[in-house]
Amino acid sequence: MRSVNGGSVMGNGHDEARRPRRSLSRRGWVNLAGAAAVVVLCVAFTAWAVVSRPGQSSVLAVATPLAAGQVIGQDDLDQVEMNAEDAAGLGLVPVERAGEVVGQVAAVPLREGTLLSAAMVGQPQVPRAGYVEVTVALADGRWPSRVQSGQSVSLIAESASSAEGAWSARATVLEVDRPESGGALVTVELPTDSAAGLALAESATLFMVAIAPDRASTSDEETGTAAGPEAAGGGD
In this prediction, the residues of the chain whose per-residue pLDDT falls under 70 are 1-54, 162, 213-236
Query: How far is it, in rounded angstroms, from Cα 236 to Cα 148?
Result: 13
User: Cα–Cα distance between 120 and 103 in angstroms, integer?
Assistant: 13
pLDDT recorded at residue 128: 80
Q: Are residues 111 and 135 in the same domain?
A: no
Residues 154 and 210 in one domain: yes
Helix and strand totals (H; E) in the chain: 5, 9
136 and 92 in one domain? no
Q: Report yes or no: 140 and 208 within 8 Å, Cβ to Cβ.
A: no
Q: Which residues contact 124 (CB under 8 A, 6 or more apart)?
A: 68, 69, 105, 106, 107, 108
137 and 201 in one domain? yes
User: How much of the chain, in percent, has pLDDT values that exceed 70?
Assistant: 66
Selection from 68, 65, 89, 84 nearest residue 76 by Cα: 65
User: Which residues have a Cβ under 8 Å from the Cβ of 158 and sit 6 or more positions away?
Assistant: 165, 166, 167, 201, 202, 205
**Residue 171 to residue 198: CA distance in whole angstroms:** 12
Asked if residue 232 is part of any domain, the answer here is no
| Residue-number span of the structural domain to which 74 is assigned | 56-120
Pairing of strands 152-158, 166-177: antiparallel
Structural domains in the chain (count):
2
- Whether 137 and 199 map to the same domain: the answer is yes
Q: Are residues 115 and 148 in the same domain?
A: no
pLDDT tens-digit series, residues 140-153: 999 998 888 888 89
Whether the CB-CB separation of 185 and 137 falls below 8 Å is answered with: yes
Virtual torsion, Cα 34, 38, 40, 41, nearest 10 deg: 130
Question: What is the reported pLDDT for 187?
Answer: 92
Same domain, 151 and 188: yes
Identity (one letter) of the amino acid at 217? S
My answer on whether 147 and 80 are in the same domain is: no
184 Cβ partners below 8 Å, 6+ apart? 137, 138, 143, 147, 176, 177, 178, 235
Q: Name which of 204, 218, 207, 147 is nearest 176 in CA terms.
A: 147
- The reported pLDDT for the residue numbered 179 is 93
pLDDT at 47: 55
pTM above 0.85, yes or no: no
Same domain for 114 and 135?
no
